[in-house]
Amino acid sequence: MAKITKVSPLAPAAFPDLPAIDGVRFATIEAGVRYQGRTDVMLAVMDPGTSVAGVFTCSATRAAPVLDCQDKIGGPSDGPAAILVNSGNANAFTGHYGQTSVAAVTQAVATATGVPVGRVFTSSTGVIGEPLPHDRIVSQLEALKAGLSMHALEDAAQAIRTTDTFPKGASAQVEIDGKTVSISGIAKGSGMIAPDMATMLVYIFTDAKVEQAALQQMLGAQTDRTFNCITVDSDTSTSDSLLLCATGASGVDATGDAAFAEALENVMLNLAKQVVRDGEGATKFVEIRVTGAASDTDAKVHGLAIANSPLVKTAIAGEDPNWGRVVMAIGKSGAAADRDLLSISFGDILVAEKGWVSPKYREEAAAAYMTGQDLVIAVDLGLGEGMSTVWTCDLTHGYIEINADYRS
């Protein structure tokens, strides 16, 4: 099991002050699913009228809780809703026993809280291939219910961590028709892995009122521009899940409201960037801006090819302005590129243009820029109007240590 020795150097100074969301209460507990001496289960209960939207991993080997959530999203929306998350065991690749565990946990939540079982969503994150000791969770449900509070969002962010080096939260408030609507979200993921794989879990709550179909549509589009634009190592968990819950308790209908949509996207992007900042072994946070591509899709393909290239990532770790590796990554991506129209910048430094090193380029200036902690690599394809921005971190000895040097 990977040992977490210190907080990521890219971590924010402190957990943010998240506004409580009217209509949602949280509780956490030490259930001893796998970890000892820390909380490992969180329960959220939402009032009747809450719309729940969700996006999930595209993995063909996704875990039982993910399959259960996918079945339920978009279903009957009467009554209250609940989310239960455990850390320490992913209930993934556990055969038919995985569904048995999900059924046991969701039924227990329904019984304890009065939430219809069709509105109980669960996630599990941690070791895979081991049966989930779901009795340890079931036996804590009365205590969890008794502890529900509007003000336990940071506790929830702590309980869902596996080996993240810091808890992740973000919020926004917007004025709509003279009233304040709040959005608060928490996330875990891409932190150090123990012992199997990083899973990204995200839960976002708002007191705005948004009809479920509209909420789901907005969430899908925004996920493509936020969580689907980050990468640490190109590997995808079997359990990635994002749930967005709109309680409507503010009485403000935010359906189709542009300011609300923007605020929500900002919360998602903030959480997504925090996941990258907790990337395994990360010492640099890198923004890859691609413009001038034949299409937005092509731009994203190029951006992710650069962001996932081990040679680009190790060059960044080595503070080496190795633009040749960026050219290589663009060339291999499969999306349209013309070598002789390509330009590349590191920060404000124009490195290459028209298929060759810029006559103004001085290696010393670029090398000095690469010593920074937050870096921007900009690529212009010179082909069209397509653009995309993706975010990643460097590939360091820390990544190897976390994933190779310790046995599960």
Q: According to CB under 8 A, which residues from 139 to 158 bind a second copy?
A: none
Supply the DSSP string of 127-193, one letter for each residue. ESSS---HHHHHTTHHHHHHT-BTT-HHHHHHHT-SB-SS-EEEEEEEEETTEEEEEEEEEE-SSB-
Interface with a second copy (CB under 8 A), residue from 323, 346, 369, 391: 323
71 near a second copy, judged by CB under 8 A: no
95 binds a second copy (CB under 8 A): yes
371 binds a second copy (CB under 8 A): no
To the question of whether residue 162 is assigned a binding role by annotation, the answer is yes
**Neighbouring residues of 258: CB distance < 8 A, sequence distance ≥ 6:** none
Q: Which is nearer to a second copy, 44 or 197 (CB)?
A: 197
Q: Which of 59, 100, 212, 228 touches a second copy by CB under 8 A?
A: 59
Query: Is residue 100 at the binding interface for a second copy, with CB under 8 A as the rule?
Result: no
Query: Contacts with a second copy: how many residues (CB under 8 A)?
Result: 72
Segment 152 to 211, residues that bind a second copy, using CB under 8 A: 193, 195-197
Tokens of 242: 């994002």
Tell me which of 75, 356, 360, 373 binds a second copy, using CB under 8 A. 356
Task: Pick one of 3, 38, 151, 332: the residue that binds a second copy (CB under 8 A).
Answer: 332
Region near a second copy per CB under 8 A, out of 33-41, 73-81, 260-268, 337-345: 337-345
SS3 310: helix
In whole angstroms, give the CA distance from residue 234 to residue 146.
41
Question: Which of positions 236-265 make contact with a second copy (CB under 8 A)?
Answer: 236-238
Check the annotation: does 199 bind a ligand.
yes
Is residue 403 marked as binding? yes
- Mark whether 125 is an active-site residue: no
For 322-373, where are the E strands, in sequence order?
343-346, 349-353, 356-357
Residue 186 · residue 168 · CB < 8 Å: yes
Determine whether the annotation assigns residue 280 to a binding site. yes
Using CB under 8 A as the binding rule, whether residue 328 contacts a second copy is answered as: yes
For residues 164 and 187, what is the distance between their CA atoms, to the nearest angstrom? Answer: 10
Residues 108-137 that bind a second copy (CB under 8 A): 127-130
Pick the catalytic residue: 57, 199, 247, 396?
A: 199
In whole angstroms, the minimum distance from the beta carbon of 129 to a second copy comes to 5
Angle at CA of residue 295, ends 337 and 391, nearest 5°: 85
Is 247 among the annotated ligand-binding positions? no
Angle of helix 310-317 relative to helix 323-332, nearest 10 degrees, comes to 160
Nearest to a second copy of 2, 267 (CB atom)? 2
CA angle in degrees (0–180, nearest 5) for 143-144-147:
90
What are the catalytic residues?
199
